[in-house]
Amino acid sequence: MIKQFIIKNLLSIHSGGVGGKIWASIKLAVVPAAGLSLSEKLTGWYIERETYILILAFSLIDDLILGVWKHLENHSFTATQSLLTLCNTSKPKNSRLVSSK
């Protein structure tokens, strides 16, 4: 049940529409946060800041690895575009954002 929930939402994030991606991201973020908050209230155990930062860092690294793997499977991976996206130094070529000049 939990595995299907995670898989369904990850697939929605990677291949769904914008609204679906946002909703799936919210669901994947809120469910563990609510469970963790409830368990902290019941047990009195809290995650320290350093532990939280480590969890966050490893989550970002895992996301990068899964993204590269997905694009390697789809044969749409380029190292330069990956680095540019990771560093957020360039706009995507087909950007639909309207600049306010």
HEC profile of the chain: CHHHHHHHHHHHHHHCCHHHHHHHHHHHHHHHHHHHHHHHHHHCCCCCHHHHHHHHHHHHHHHHHHHHHHHHHCCCCCHHHHHHHHHCCCCCCCCCCCCCC
Q: State the pLDDT at residue 49.
A: 77
pLDDT of amino acid 101? 45
Condensed to tens digits (0 to 9), the pLDDT of residues 67-89 reads 888 888 888 877 777 777 767 64
Question: Which residues, given as ranges, of the chain have pLDDT below 50?
Answer: 89-90, 95, 97-101
User: According to the model, what pLDDT value does residue 31 have?
Assistant: 83
Average of per-residue pLDDT values in the chain: 78
